[in-house]
């Protein structure tokens, strides 16, 4: 009786129904997993082909084995090939992948699997920088990041005819004869920093912090003629310093935010740091606009008095003066081109010089002092060259001194070698306007190419087996080790080449030479024992380099 249950058939029904439900759920789960897996496979291996057909024909770096697929979908190869890695890691990854794929061009993925093409050969870089330069423009995401800060009227963001026009007007301001007038500014800043160092002999120097301050002062005085140490200069100086020295909450966030348009940034509930960053940018833009307007008024008042002053800088006191006065006589003949810069364009240029010229030169000086601190023989050789010049120089005229400094051979090669191992700009990114071909590989319209400067600078094919070592002599034509290596003319490209090369190259080199002269003839530097040096960032900033300074006159 007990075992007899009249609801038995009904139970069977529900058991069968339950089993069926389980089977269907299981099958559904399998289907979902299969779809996810197929989607994942498609995303990881084939998705990039959708965008631009040429990626199919270029060897692909492949998913790094050690990276989980979801991290890969998010970061792509950024952990190896972008600012999320250190400059050393970036260089190694590009060179190793080139060797693995036996190809100077290969494709890889940026964040969210956005495809990129790496050009790991100076010849391929030459194609983009020189041979077909007009076909390669800054991609929207790079423009976005820069225009948030610089406005979008300056030379760095201009393209095509507008860029050529601006460059023609600006270049005379960077001519050597114009730059030597800035010698006293460079020298005074060098003297100030060495004095600070001598006043606190026991203290280990955070070299990047000090070099940042020096180059900020230099650019403030040389670009705008305002002294950051006066009251009126303080506000602008502080805002500007904040923009470039604040550490973002994470590099990942900083990268993401630099890509977002300013209208979106403004409407987002931002962190305190980002809000401060934005208000600093607004303040810098407002102040710089005011300075430009004042200079324009001064210049126009002068023209009323003396019409012959048209097109000539009246004082040569700073870059801004030269820009306000600049007129291109060739462009004047063409009615289609404005032969001078508008106020908005000058404001953007001034901001560009601050952004492009300050951080980069601070990085150059910091890495150079770091390398000299761990290579005492190179430091001594350089000091001897500087001291010989100092004692043989018959004049106190700073302009003449700067001219002599510019001709010193060892000083020049030390800076070349420092820029080779630690190029401040690690890579540049460009987008093809039209279909093209590089080294036999097709490049479709819209494809994004990347020149990893930092990897090209450490390429053993160009620099020999000691490519990773600091050896300034490699740039001397008399160096016997160079005979074996046939180096490409553009293997060294920290400032790029061609019509998009850095306009401030001579400015930066003169500034660095004058400041090194002031420092190394007064002090010697050595790395603090136990100091662990890290370099990272879009511009390779040397973090935590601490130096011990020895007063040469007390040794």
User: Can you say which residues are annotated as belonging to the binding site for heme?
Assistant: 502
Our CB check for ligand HEM shows the closer of 107 and 360 to be 360
Output the CA–CA distances (angstroms, integers) from residue 132 to 189, 291, 498, in the order listed. Answer: 41, 38, 10
Torsion over CA: 11, 17, 18, 19 (sign): positive
Q: What is the contact surface with ligand HEM in residues (CB under 6 A)?
A: 155-156, 167, 352-353, 356-357, 360-361, 364, 424-425, 428, 494-496, 500, 502-504, 507-508
Nearer Cβ to ligand HEM (48/513): 513
Query: What is the nearest approach in angstroms of ligand HEM to the Cβ of residue 361?
Result: 5
DSSP string for residues in 55-118: GGGS-B----TTS-HHHHHHHTTHHHHSTTS-HHHHHHHHHHHHHHHT-SEEEEE-GGG-EEEE
C-beta separation of 208 from 531 below 8 A: no
Q: Which is nearer to ligand HEM, 73 or 508 (CB)?
A: 508
Pick 220 or 356: Cβ nearer ligand HEM: 356
Cβ-based nearer residue to ligand HEM, 84 or 354: 354
Provide the minimum distance between the beta carbon of 394 and ligand HEM in the complex, in angstroms, as a whole number.
Answer: 30
Name 92's Cβ contacts closer than 8 Å, sequence gap at least 6.
Answer: none
Query: At closest approach, how far in Å is the CB of 435 from ligand HEM?
Result: 22
What is the smallest separation between the CB atom of 408 and ligand HEM, expressed in angstroms?
18
- Burial environment of residue 51 by CB neighbours within 10 A (0 to 12, 13 to 18, 19 or more): middle
Cβ-based nearer residue to ligand HEM, 103 or 213: 213
* Beta bridge partners of residue 526, listed in sequence order: 548
Instruction: Strand 205-206: give its sheet, edge to edge.
Output: 205-206, 546-551, 523-527
Least distance from C-beta 501 to ligand HEM, angstroms?
A: 7
Nearest residue (beta carbon) to ligand HEM: 504
Reduced to 3 states, what is the DSSP secondary structure of residue 18?
A: helix
Residue pair 265/278 in contact (Cβ under 8 Å)? The answer is yes
Q: How far is the CB of 381 from ligand HEM (least distance, A)?
A: 22
Binding site per annotation, positions: 502
Asked if residue 100 lies in contact with residue 107, where contact means CB atoms within 8 angstroms, the answer is no
Q: Nearest approach, Cβ of 348 to ligand HEM (angstroms)?
A: 10
Nearer Cβ to ligand HEM (221/549): 221
Q: What is the DSSP string of 221-288?
A: IIII---TTSHHHHHHHHHHHHHHHPPPS-HHHHHHHHHS-HHHHHHS---HHHHHHHHHHHHHHHHH
């Amino acid at each position: 009786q007990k075992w007899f249950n009249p609801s038995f058939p009904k139970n069977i029904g529900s058991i069968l129904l339950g089993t069926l439900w389980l089977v269907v759920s299981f099958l559904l789960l399998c289907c979902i997993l299969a779809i996810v897996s197929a989607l994942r496979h498609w995303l990881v291996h084939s998705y990039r082909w959708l965008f631009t057909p040429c990626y199919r024909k270029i060897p692909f770096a492949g998913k790094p084995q050690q990276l989980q697929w979801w991290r890969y979908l998010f970061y792509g190869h950024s952990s190896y090939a972008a600012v999320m890695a250190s400059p050393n890691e970036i260089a190694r990854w590009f060179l190793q992948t080139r060797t693995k794929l036996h190809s100077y061009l290969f494709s890889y993925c940026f964040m969210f699997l956005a495809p990129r093409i790496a050009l790991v050969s100076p010849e391929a870089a030459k194609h983009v920088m020189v041979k077909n330069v007009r076909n390669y423009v800054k991609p929207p995401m790079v423009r976005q990041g820069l225009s948030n800060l610089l406005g979008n009227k300056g030379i760095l963001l201009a393209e095509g005819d507008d860029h050529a026009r601006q460059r023609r007007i600006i270049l005379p301001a960077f001519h050597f004869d114009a730059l030597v007038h800035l010698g006293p500014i460079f020298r005074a800043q060098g003297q100030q920093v060495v004095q600070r160092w001598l006043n606190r002999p026991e203290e280990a120097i955070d070299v990047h912090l000090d070099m940042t301050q020096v180059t900020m002062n230099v650019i403030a005085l040389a670009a705008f003629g305002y002294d950051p140490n006066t009251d009126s200069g303080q506000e602008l100086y502080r805002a500007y310093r904040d923009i470039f020295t604040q550490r973002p909450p994470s590099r990942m966030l900083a990268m993401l935010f630099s890509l977002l348009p300013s209208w979106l940034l403004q409407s987002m509930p931002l962190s305190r740091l980002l809000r401060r960053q934005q208000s600093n940018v607004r303040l810098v833009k407002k102040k710089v606009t005011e300075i430009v307007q004042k200079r324009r008024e001064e210049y126009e008042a002068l023209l009323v008095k003396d019409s012959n002053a048209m097109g000539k800088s009246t004082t040569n006191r700073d870059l801004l003066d030269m820009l306000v006065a600049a007129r291109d006589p060739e462009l004047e003949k063409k009615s289609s081109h404005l032969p001078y810069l508008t106020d908005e364009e000058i404001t953007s240029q001034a901001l560009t010089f601050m952004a492009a010229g300050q951080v980069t030169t601070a990085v150059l000086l910091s890495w150079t002092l770091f390398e000299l601190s761990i290579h005492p023989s190179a430091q001594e050789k350089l000091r001897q060259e500087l001291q010989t010049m100092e004692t043989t120089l018959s004049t106190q005229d700073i302009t003449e001194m700067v001219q002599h400094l510019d001709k010193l051979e060892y000083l020049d090669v030390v800076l070349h070698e420092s820029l080779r191992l630690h190029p401040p700009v690690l890579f540049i990114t460009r987008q093809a306007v039209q279909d093209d071909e590089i080294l036999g590989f097709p490049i479709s319209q819209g494809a994004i190419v990347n020149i990893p400067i930092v990897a090209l600078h450490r390429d053993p094919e160009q620099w020999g087996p000691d490519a990773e070592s600091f050896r300034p002599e490699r740039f001397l034509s008399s160096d016997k080790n160079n005979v074996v290596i046939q180096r490409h003319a553009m293997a060294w490209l920290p400032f790029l080449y061609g019509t998009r090369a850095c306009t401030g190259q001579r400015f930066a080199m003169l500034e660095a030479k004058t400041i090194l002269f002031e420092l190394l003839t007064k002090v010697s530097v050595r790395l603090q024992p136990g100091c662990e040096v890290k370099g990272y960032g879009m511009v390779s900033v040397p973090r935590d380099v601490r130096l011990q300074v020895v007063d040469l006159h007390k040794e």
